[in-house]
Amino acid sequence: MAAKQKSRPTYAEIAKLAGVSEATVSRVLNGDPKVDSDRVAAVNKAVDQLGYQKNRAAAALASGRTGLIAVVIDDDLSVFQDPFWGAITNGISKVLMENEMQTLLLVAPLDNIDSPVAQYLQRGEVDGAIFLQLHKDTLINRLAKQNLPLVVNGTPHTNNPFAYVDSDNAGGAFAAVRHLVDSGRKVIAKITGDLSNTAAEQRLEGFLAAANEFGLKTPKSLIAQGDWSREAGYNHAKKLLAKHPTLDAIFCSNDVMALGAVTAIQEAGRSVPGDVAVVGFDDSYLAQNSHPGLTSVRQDIAGLGAEAAKMILAKLRGEEVHSEILPCELVLRETA
């Protein structure tokens, strides 16, 4: 005969063990911040002793909270060719899970303010949203008016008061160019990311600032606008090599494009880094495991996600949140 399944502890049992009323038990389990800390501790201790597990659906009805945080990427599924997105989402999910919250990943272009994803976010079915990439600020402006807690990964396009977390993109790009100049490189090209993205803009700004600082010539023909893909890195590198026979370095705005550039250089019969040095950005696992090893600007990708999650949780607690800029560092390997 199968063993009888242990029944779920009742509020009455928890209240009796904790020495409080059933109403207090309900308030504690539904996150009422006004309950005395001693009573909260007593209820939580009783909950642990009795092995009580919250019913998430019931808790959501009682508290008005869903326990869900939307993680929104303003793009299509091709973004997952870049390991950046998996790493940052992992950083978010780890912190949320530690706080009994769940991640709801939404990936779709948000050009249309009335798209299904935009409509879903406006229906109040999540407790907050973390936007990992935004080409425009229109949707977050509308959501902010509905008082949905928001955090943005990446500097917003406008001077709106949104809390955001970002890397020092310009500083990282400056460090990459400085290293190339110190290594004796004279003709340095830049393959940007999608310039509708503020990270791509900032990395280009850092490149141009360093070029100006170190007296490099940067004609428009040395700057190619990519889209973060390996194909963009490969195709632009081929064109840059054809236009500029003396080209001796390429700085790409992410590792995926940098590895495409390395392939193009090698197929052209030139060596990396002997003839042309290559630097990427992100220091993703692709850079860490490539052959030759890719020199890359490291940003703390998981840390960006973790910080965004901490910020959204603080907002849910009603705390004041300040934007954060995380440092970058250049990691030297074989390509530069």
Q: Look at residue 148 and tell me if it is in a domain.
A: yes
Q: Would you state the pLDDT for residue 13?
A: 87
CATH number of the domain to which 111 belongs = 3.40.50.2300
pLDDT at 138 over 70: yes
- If asked whether residues 89 and 232 sit together in one domain, one would say no
Contacts of 192 (CB under 8 A, 6+ apart): 200, 203, 204, 223, 224, 225, 226, 253
- If asked whether residues 219 and 271 sit together in one domain, one would say yes
Percent of the residues in the chain that have a pLDDT greater than 70, as a whole number? 90
The more confident residue out of 323 and 125 is 323
As a whole number of angstroms, the distance between CA 260 and CA 226 comes to: 11
pLDDT at 175 over 70: yes
222-277 per-position pLDDT tens digit:
999 999 999 999 999 999 999 999 999 999 999 999 999 999 999 999 999 999 99
The secondary structure of residue 7, as a DSSP letter, is P
- If asked whether residues 138 and 202 sit together in one domain, one would say no
Per-residue exposure over 299-334, b if at least 16 CB sit within 10 Å of its own CB, e if not = bbbbbbbbbbbbbbbbbbeeeebebbeeebebbebe
Q: Would you state the pLDDT for residue 196?
A: 85
Answer whether 260's CB lies under 8 Å from 233's CB.
Answer: yes
Kindly list the distances between the CA atom of residue 181 and the CA atoms of 177, 230, 268, in Å, as whole numbers in the listed order. Answer: 6, 25, 23
Q: Would you state the pLDDT for residue 122?
A: 78
The secondary structure of residue 82, as a DSSP letter, is S
Residue 55 CA to chain centroid, in angstroms?
30
Q: Would you state the pLDDT for residue 62?
A: 53
26-47 per-position pLDDT tens digit:
788 766 778 888 898 998 898 8
Q: How many domains does the chain have?
A: 2
Q: Would you state the pLDDT for residue 121?
A: 81
- If asked whether residues 87 and 128 sit together in one domain, one would say yes
Give residue 136's pLDDT band: very low, low, confident or very high (50, 70, 90): confident
Whether a cis peptide bond, with omega within 30° of 0, leads into 9 is no
Dihedral sign for Cα atoms in the order 188, 191, 193, 194 = positive
pLDDT at 61 over 50: no
Tell me how crowded residue 101 is: count the other CB atoms within 10 A of its CB.
21
Q: Look at residue 136 and tell me if it is in a domain.
A: yes
Dihedral sign for Cα atoms in the order 62, 63, 68, 73 = positive
Q: How many helices (H) and strands (E) does the chain have?
A: 13, 12
Q: Look at residue 43 and tell me if it is in a domain.
A: no
Q: Would you state the pLDDT for residue 64?
A: 57
Q: Look at residue 90 and tell me if it is in a domain.
A: yes
Which spans in 183-229 are helix H?
198-213
81-123 per-position pLDDT tens digit:
788 888 899 999 999 998 888 899 888 777 766 778 878 887 7
What is the rounded average pLDDT of the residues 278-294?
A: 95
- If asked whether residues 184 and 285 sit together in one domain, one would say yes
Domain interval for residue 77 = 68-167+301-327
The more confident residue out of 139 and 294 is 294
- If asked whether residues 193 and 146 sit together in one domain, one would say no
